[in-house]
Structure 1
Amino acid sequence: MSSQSAADVPVDQLKKPAPEKTPGARTERANHRWWVLAVIALAQLMVVLDATVVTIALPSAQKALDFSDGNRQWIVTAYSLSFGSLLLVGGRLADLVGRRIVFLIGVVGFAGASALAGAAQNFEVLVTGRALQGLFGALLAPAALSLLNTTFTDAKERAKAFGIYGAIAGAGGGVGLLLGGVLTEHLSWRWTLYVNLVFAVFAFLGGLALLRKDAPADRQKLDLPGTLLVTAGLFCIVYGFSNAETHHWGSPMTWGFLVIGVVLVAAFSWWQTRAKHPLLPLRVLLDRNRGASFTVLALSGAGMFGVFLFLTYYLQLSLHYNPVKTGLGFLPMIGALMVAAQLVTNTLLPKLGPRPIVPTGMVMAAAGMAWLTVLDLNSTYAANVLPPLLVIGFGLGLVMPASMSVATERVAETDAGVTSAAVNTMQQVGGSIGTALLNTLAASAGATYLAHHTGKLVVAHAALHSYATAYWWSAGLLALGGVLALFMYRGGRPAPSEESAAPAPVHM
């Protein structure tokens, strides 16, 4: 690969008069960037769908490896703990070592961890493999997003690229449910893990061929105290919320870890004002639009959990869908999300800015969640499930790519990795909060219903009541995000393409 690839050529040079071959060269460079997007999107899909692809396979894995219901949660929690707690470190390593090398290491490591987990003959190996998946995912995810941010610097191309990336980030959970159902039913639960090897081969070969070497000449030192504080703090927060599923909120295993986590993150924030080379420079966080995007991503991550988990339960347990049919049921939502993502990034965001778009999307998604609360045992998919799914999908399609694009724009290239990691961290922590909060509230609502009702179908109706409780709380989280976005985002259109064409230092 020539050192003068598209990603190597500064944007200002692209605007200068060039020799006769310029049109062909520009076309070649543009094609190169879109191939880079394909590689990044493939790697991101591998990480995102892995959060849900294993969910449908859990009953089969539990039966095959003979582990208890109490241990079942660790198949999911082991991944989220290592992924959520190490994201910021992975992002900063991408800035310090180079995004290309960190991306390639992440792809290879994720594939190896997937192979280990897929071949597991006991519970301990499966959990170890899932934890290693999270570790390498924490390298891969921020490197992928920062590569996208530094590769697409033209405003129009950036809009299209983030539209595609945001659609994948929002739809990956639904794709994971469908793929998990197909693989579990027709092959084996192990293939929900082995399938990552297929993605990884193409992502690695594409990355090796297309991504430019970008190791910084002036390499700063890693902020070790900050790394230890934020890693331990995020671990405690994610672990505390995860414990809320199996313990109660009054248990020291829940609130104790949450308090410790908050204290450590607060200490990390203080240290970042003192550190010579901070892990997460405060200039990254204090931009108003970026702060709004981080808030929206956290709340949408928490709210989205409701539709994927509890609607999956409803379709399988109440309407008796098999895993494949359940996954297919989410496809219209994914389609609506992708249509909205392209509309917002190509047309609406450049003209209107994020302030009218993101709140509208959050409120639409909240309305769709509230609509799901009317589902009962006599509901049909076409009449009762499909319409709210389309509303939710379109709403999230307005939110995800717009907030991701705004969160990473106008960032110095030296901060691109850690900024991208902060985006992923907000989604991960939001998802952990959603998992714990909605599971706990739904279980409590179901138990209360059973205690006060009797009858032949009381168990089925208690399940419906628990799902509806989760939908209402999801709607509340999304609506809250919409209100906050309305007040936090600046009004007006984004900066013109001349200003946003190249990454620039963040203005406080």
Structure 2
Amino acid sequence: MRKISPAVWAFLITSTAGFMAALDNLVVTTALPSIRAHLGGGITDLEWTVNAYTLTFAVLLMLGAALGDRFGRRRVFTTGLALFTLSSLAASLAPNIGALVAARAAQGVGAALLTPVSLTLLTAAVPVARRGLAFGAWGAVNGMAVALGPLIGGTIVEHLSWQWIFALNVPIGLALLPLARLRLAESHGPNGRLDVVGTGLASSGLFGVVYALIRGNSDGWTSATVLSGLVVGALLLVSFLVWETRTATPLLPLRLFRIRTFSAVNAASMLMSLGMFGAIFLLSQFLQNVQGYSPMTAGVRMLPWTGMPMLVAPLAGLLVDRIGGRVVIAIGLAMQAVGLAWFALIVTPDVSYASQVPALIISGTGMALFFAPVAAVLMGSVRPQEQGVASGANNALREVGGALGVAVLTSVFTAHGSYASGQSYVNGLTPALWVGAAAIAAATVAILCAPRRSRAAAAQPIASGEPSTDAADSSPVPVA
């Protein structure tokens, strides 16, 4: 029997854990009507079952990368995996909506610890010549998890119960823990100090802004709660940026954003998540609450969207070799924007499923073209010693985009519609979809701002301590 190589073990362990973490972003969406019926709560409470996860995930990702550099990436990975597993069990046993939201927040902390170090652990295990393929496969697996969330969640809810969405993480996590300890090599980063102040400022600021967006329509946009959240949150985020320019060990090295490719990929990732997460959150409920489909049937009906990444991702790799990652990502984003705009044009309470299929296929193909090459393009834009924090920054901004997407699109929805009737739901859904399409169109413009070709990250000047501003889609080099 052929022995499994360390690179294959690293891919299997990190991609499986990453799949679980990415899946839990949207796996709950098709379960929202069932959770609402069982635990109660309105749309604001349902938003928090999604945003409690994405928000803690987002604001702690860069801290997870820093902890991996300081205490060891394998150690932080296993700690995060253990916390994610335990909090998944707590979510499955939640007796009320408050307990579920708290468990989801703890899941986000666990995901924030394991996700950023996954890519650096994989980088260390895979030979240089095969890293492009490994990053593409890792990105495709994570993208597929996000895409398949509604289908998997709907199937589990219909045949088991919503609690099993979280309970199924437990045996997988327990199986991965010993494998991670035995099969992953320990490594550390060059920076052993932690930016506690920066973490606190970023976390508090993002929480304030997202909380205000969620409460805006229910409390009133001029209420003290909402205005204080927006103002204080914005001031804390500005303070975070000022602090990061002055501290010797920044949580987010702002100098990386001088690299055009790095900035373009992160802007595109954030805007794409804003549009996509918010749209899926609302469309999955449209299929159940308005068109009357069961949770599993709703997930199956979304399969032309969610299943396309499995078919298109391998082709995306071939396209990257021919025309470059920047162009493939731009095409994927443009297709997602077209797909959401199509939905916005055709959606009515009784719109036929056949009319929805083209929009679903276009959106799914675009999602695959985005997720497959984005990790390789990102990691190739920075020096080896910066890959850990680069991965953490990208994942953090993508999760921030997801949290903002659910908050912003739901605010647009509640300003124009409600759950009162099918037509009322569509009245809110339509402008929300247009906002989502506009965000992803902006992401397309952002990625096109990246340079076409330039020097490899390995060739960037090191003596000055500053990265080049024109690093682009180059192959990653070994992690130091």
Q: TM-score under structure 1 normalisation?
A: 0.83
Q: In 2, Cα distance between the equivalents of 1:405 and 1:62?
A: 40
Range with bigger deviation, 128-137 or 52-61: 52-61
Whether 1:384 aligns to 2:355 is yes
Q: CA deviation at 1:435?
A: 1.2
Partner of 2:115: 141
1:178 pairs with one of 151, 156, 161: 151
1:167 pairs with one of 140, 157, 160: 140
Distance 1:57 1:504, change over 3 A: closer
Q: CA deviation at 1:68?
A: 6.2
Q: CA deviation at 1:371?
A: 1.2
- Asked if the contact 2:54–2:402 (Cα under 8 Å) also holds between the matched residues in 1, the reply is no
Partner of 2:433: 471
Partner of 1:283: 255
Distance 1:170 1:253, change over 3 A: farther
Q: In 2, Cα distance between the equivalents of 1:475 and 1:494?
A: 33
**Runs of at least 5 residues in structure 1 that lack an aligned partner in the other structure:** 1-23, 451-457
Whether 1:264 aligns to 2:264 is no
Whether 1:348 aligns to 2:322 is no
Partner of 2:393: 422
Structure 1 residues 9-408: aligned runs within 5 Å: 31-65=5-39, 71-152=45-126, 154-155=128-129, 157-215=130-188, 220-244=192-216, 246-344=218-316, 346-373=317-344, 374-381=346-353, 383-408=354-379
Q: In 1, Cα distance between the equivalents of 2:111 and 2:54?
A: 10
For residues 237-282 of structure 1, give each alpha carbon's deviation from its aligned partner in whole angstroms, at most 9, with x where no partner exists.
Answer: 3333333364443334334323323322222222223222222223
Distance 1:272 1:330, change over 3 A: same
Q: In 1, Cα distance between the equivalents of 2:42 and 2:361?
A: 37
* DSSP-derived class of the 1:273 partner: helix
- Asked if the contact 1:109–1:136 (Cα under 8 Å) also holds between the matched residues in 2, the reply is yes
- Asked if the contact 1:95–1:414 (Cα under 8 Å) also holds between the matched residues in 2, the reply is no
Q: CA deviation at 1:423?
A: 1.0
Distance 1:377 1:228, change over 3 A: closer
- Asked if the contact 2:217–2:411 (Cα under 8 Å) also holds between the matched residues in 1, the reply is yes
How many residue pairs get aligned? The number is 465
RMSD (CA atoms): 2.9
* DSSP-derived class of the 2:26 partner: helix
Partner of 2:424: 462
Q: CA deviation at 1:296?
A: 0.4
Q: CA deviation at 1:490?
A: 0.3
Partner of 1:481: 443
Range with bigger deviation, 201-210 or 82-91: 201-210
Structure with the greater alpha carbon radius of gyration: 1
For residues 126-159 of structure 1, give each alpha carbon's deviation from its aligned partner in whole angstroms, at most 9, with x where no partner exists.
Answer: 332222111111111212233234444525x223
Amino acid at match of 1:467: L
For residues 40-99 of structure 1, give each alpha carbon's deviation from its aligned partner in whole angstroms, at most 9, with x where no partner exists.
Answer: 111111111212223333443444445566544433333233222222211211122121
- Asked if the contact 1:81–1:239 (Cα under 8 Å) also holds between the matched residues in 2, the reply is no
Whether 1:431 aligns to 2:402 is yes
* DSSP-derived class of the 2:251 partner: coil
Q: CA deviation at 1:322?
A: 0.5
Q: In 2, Cα distance between the equivalents of 1:243 and 1:229?
A: 21
Distance 1:245 1:294, change over 3 A: farther
Amino acid at match of 2:188: A
* DSSP-derived class of the 1:328 partner: helix
- Asked if the contact 1:300–1:478 (Cα under 8 Å) also holds between the matched residues in 2, the reply is yes
Q: In 2, Cα distance between the equivalents of 1:277 and 1:496?
A: 22
- Asked if the contact 2:121–2:185 (Cα under 8 Å) also holds between the matched residues in 1, the reply is no
Q: In 2, Cα distance between the equivalents of 1:367 and 1:494?
A: 33
Q: In 2, Cα distance between the equivalents of 1:417 and 1:241?
A: 31
Q: In 1, Cα distance between the equivalents of 2:218 and 2:478?
A: 45
* DSSP-derived class of the 1:420 partner: helix
- Asked if the contact 1:353–1:494 (Cα under 8 Å) also holds between the matched residues in 2, the reply is no
**Runs of at least 5 residues in structure 2 that lack an aligned partner in the other structure:** 460-473
- Asked if the contact 2:65–2:392 (Cα under 8 Å) also holds between the matched residues in 1, the reply is yes
Q: CA deviation at 1:299?
A: 0.6
* DSSP-derived class of the 1:491 partner: coil
- Asked if the contact 1:99–1:147 (Cα under 8 Å) also holds between the matched residues in 2, the reply is yes
For residues 444-501 of structure 1, give each alpha carbon's deviation from its aligned partner in whole angstroms, at most 9, with x where no partner exists.
Answer: 2337xx9xxxxxxx94233223222222221111111112222x21013784999735
Q: TM-score under structure 2 normalisation?
A: 0.88
Identity of aligned residues (%): 33
Partner of 2:452: 491
Distance 1:220 1:493, change over 3 A: closer
Amino acid at match of 1:406: V
Q: In 2, Cα distance between the equivalents of 1:503 and 1:284?
A: 19
